Chains A and B, each alone.
Chain A
Amino acid sequence: MAEALNQKQNFFKGIIKENPVFVMLLGMCPALGVTSSAFNGLGMGVATLFVLLMSNIVVSLIKKQIPSKVRIPAFIIVIASFVTIVEMVLEAFIPFLYEQLGIFIPLIVVNCLILGRAEAFASKNNLWSSIVDALGMGIGFTIALTALGAVREILGNGSIFDFKFIAEDANTFILFILPPGAFIALAYLAYLFNKISTKTAN
């Protein structure tokens, strides 16, 4: 099965057809929580991409050694270890981003996207397919979070990647930076995304 799988398709499914945020609605906690700016969304996306990639690699490599009754705790230990590594590395080398993301870094452990890919894909497929799957899903997640962050930042703060394009004291839709704005922006983006992707598929 794994050999027959078209790798290109495997890669792009994570970005479009099975986009974790807009289509599968996985990993909503960071998607709503950290996306108050495009940069935060990008940072969170990349951190998640790294954890996803490493956990998929390890899970795919050790899948035969794990008795199926304890596979979930085994996967969680693998994921939690990589998250802790990411946290320590960020704190040491990119303290700025570490502060911005705060509590959401340790929470990557419980991001259902990562355990979901380990359980649904990496534990059934070979190493190469799992790497491609993780890259596709991770990039799809990063794009979604960055897009959501960008929309919220543009509407709520009048800036993009901290570059302000309106007057310093102009009024903005502050709502979009606040939690309710996350839900509203996500709903519209998911709607647009699905509308466009089904249209092009037809």
Chain B
Amino acid sequence: MSKKESTFLNMVVTLFVITIVAGLSLGFVNQITLAPKAKAKLEKKVNGLKQVLPTFTNNPVEIVQLIKSEKAKDSIEMYPAFNNNEFVGAAVIGSSEKGFSGLIKIMVGFKPNGDVHNIVVLEQKETPGLGTKIKDDKFKQQYRDKNPSTFNLKVKKDGGEVDALTGATITTRAFSEAVKMAYDQFMANKEVLTQAKIN
């Protein structure tokens, strides 16, 4: 069997067939991975919520509140948490574009009075070993149980109270900014959040 000749018709037909087959197989794989992909994403969210919020009994994902803000491109997601119908706080997604390598996205859990309960990092592209330490409990510890109305979220270098990570001041600044954004949104929308319960 010899190689097909490069006539115009041959080339068109070959490429056509290859793209059709490629497209069909991609569609097929997409079909079968669609459900697991969504599941993996949801699992990550639920795990995050469990970490940042005090004990809750409802499903915060079901009653997510989307709030538009000029500060972020997408609307901000808020997950109100209830323990036996009592409002115990909410998880708010905060983000900042000012990280060392762009976007930092975090989930901050607030208690009803505005105290930070805990924080998890959802997305970041910071320098491994330096900026990625924002994921460590050791770093996040300083935000826990602090109320941003009295706790100055700025880095110490800028006159605030946050200990910056060694070699990653820019990352720390962006992280603090994301916490601040989440806090502002939480306070501004607290009313809506406390009434978000569906029975």
Give bound CA distance, A178 to B14, whole Å. Answer: 45
Q: Is B198 an interface residue (CB 8 A)?
A: no
A 127-166 binary contact with B (CB < 8 Å = 1; else 0): 0000000000000000000000000000011000000000
The stretch of B4-12, B64-72, B107-115, B185-193 that contacts the partner chain: B4-12
Stretch at the interface among B77-85, B127-135, B150-158, B175-183: B127-135
What does the 1/0 interface line of A83-115 toward B look like (CB < 8 Å)?
011001101110100010010000000000000
Contact yes or no, B128 A157, CB < 8 A: yes
Residues in A with CB closer than 8 Å to B11 are: 67, 69-70
Contact for B4 among A64, A95, A174, CB less than 8 A: A64
Q: Does A177 contact B (CB under 8 A)?
A: yes
Interface of B is mostly: helix
Chain A nearest Cβ from B125, distance in angstroms: 7
The complex places the Cα of A24 from the Cα of B12 at a distance, in Å, of 34
Which of B4, B19, B29 is within 8 Å of A65, CB to CB?
B4
Q: How far is the CA of A66 from the CA of B1 in the complex (A)?
A: 12
Whether the pair A70, B33 counts as a contact (CB closer than 8 A) is no
A84 to B26, CA, bound (A): 7
A91, B37: Cβ atoms under 8 Å?
Answer: yes
Which residues of B have CB within 8 Å of A89?
29, 33
A contacts with B: majority SS:
helix
A9 contacts chain B at the CB level, 8 A cutoff? no
Task: Give the residue of B25, B36, B41, B167 whose beta carbon is less than 8 angstroms from that of A174.
Answer: B167
The answer to whether A67 and B33 touch across the interface, beta carbons within 8 angstroms, is: no
CA A66 to CA B21, docked complex, whole Å: 14
Q: Is A92 a contact of B36 with CB atoms below 8 Å?
A: yes
Number of residues of chain B lying within 8 A (CB) of chain A: 32
A78 adjacent to B22 (CB under 8 Å): yes
Residue of A nearest to B38 (CB): A92
A68 interface residue (CB < 8 Å to B) = yes
Cα A92 to Cα B39 in complex, Å, equals 8
From B4, B25, B128, contact of A81 by CB (8 A): B25
**Closest residue of A by beta carbon distance from B125:** A102
Contact A74 B18 (CB under 8 A): yes
Number of A-B contacts (CB under 8 A): 83
Considering the chains assembled together, what is the distance between the CA atoms of A131 and B33 in angstroms? 27
Closest Cβ neighbor of B130 among chain A residues: A174
Chain A residues with CB under 8 Å of B15's CB are 70, 73-74, 77
In the complex, the chain A residue whose C-beta lies closest to that of B39 is A92
Among A64, A85, A95, A99, point to the contact of B25 (Cβ < 8 A): A85
User: What CA separation (Å) do A88 and B14 show in the bound complex?
Assistant: 26
- Judge if A7 is at the interface, Cβ distance under 8 Å: no
B73 at the interface (CB under 8 A from A): no
Interface centre among A37, A92, A95 (most CB of B within 10 A): A92
A76 to chain B: closest CB distance in Å? 10
Bound: A60/B117 CA distance, A: 58
The answer to whether residues A157 and B29 also contact, given A66-B14, A68-B6 and a CB cut-off of 8 A, is no
**Cα-based distance from A56 to B5 in the complex (angstroms):** 22
Known: A85-B29, A93-B36. A67 touches B127 (CB 8 A): no
CA distance A129 to B2 in the complex (A): 19
Provide the residues of chain B in CB contact with A70, threshold 8 Å.
Answer: 6, 11, 14-15
Known contacts A67-B4, A74-B15, A91-B40; 10 additional CB pairs below 8 A are A66-B4, A67-B6, A74-B14, A78-B18, A81-B25, A91-B37, A92-B36, A93-B36, A177-B127, A177-B129
Chain B residues near A (Cβ < 8 Å): 1-7, 10-11, 14-15, 18-19, 22, 25-26, 29-30, 33, 36-37, 40-41, 44, 123, 125, 127-130, 138, 167
- 6 residue pairs, one from A and one from B, having the closest CB atoms: A92-B36, A69-B6, A67-B6, A92-B33, A81-B22, A36-B128
